[in-house]
Amino acid sequence: AQTVTQSQPEMSVQEAETVTLSCTYDTSENNYYLFWYKQPPSRQMILVIRQEAYKQQNATENRFSVNFQKAAKSFSLKISDSQLGDTAMYFCAFMKGSTSGTYKYIFGTGTRLKVLA
């Protein structure tokens, strides 16, 4: 069974600094997809970034980038120039197919990030 592990329950970072959130996963599949979602205090889950496993290039979205290490099954999120609005719970997710052909997410337990002024 696929699992997703986030080993850092809580982290904090000073405003304008860089922080890295870790995520490891376990799967026997070769083609899969990984995501980072953000859940601010408003509770609205928002997609931060996505990565296809067959792509060697790491995905980047403005201040957010990933370090995808397929052999190590590691998918960390780097936030550069941290802002107060980055304070949120961050979830790593793995997408898998089901018997019906529907794709569904498997989520990690989350990392609560607090950006300090």
Partner 1 sequence: DVKVTQSSRYLVKRTGEKVFLECVQDMDHENMFWYRQDPGLGLRLIYFSYDVKMKEKGDIPEGYSVSREKKERFSLILESASTNQTSMYLCASRQTGGGVTTEAFFGQGTRLTVV
Distance CA 54, CA 30 (A): 8
Distance CA 31, CA 4 (A): 16
Shortest distance in whole angstroms from residue 1 CB to partner 1: 9
Shortest distance in whole angstroms from residue 46 CB to partner 1: 8
| 105 strand-pairing partners | 95
45 lies in the binding site for partner 1 (CB under 8 A): yes
Q: For partner 1, which residue of 50, 63, 70, 78 counts as binding (CB under 8 A)? A: 50
Compare residues 16 and 55 and give the one whose CB is closer to partner 1. 55
Residue type at position 74:
S
103 lies in the binding site for partner 1 (CB under 8 A): yes
105 lies in the binding site for partner 1 (CB under 8 A): yes
Compare residues 19 and 93 and give the one whose CB is closer to partner 1. 93
Any idea which residue has 């120039």 for tokens? 81
- Residue 67 belongs to what H/E stretch? strand 64-69
Q: Which ranges in the chain belong to alpha helices (H)? A: none
Instruction: Please report, as ranges, the residues that interact with partner 1 according to CB under 8 A.
Output: 4, 6, 9, 33, 35, 42-45, 47, 50, 52, 91, 95, 97-110
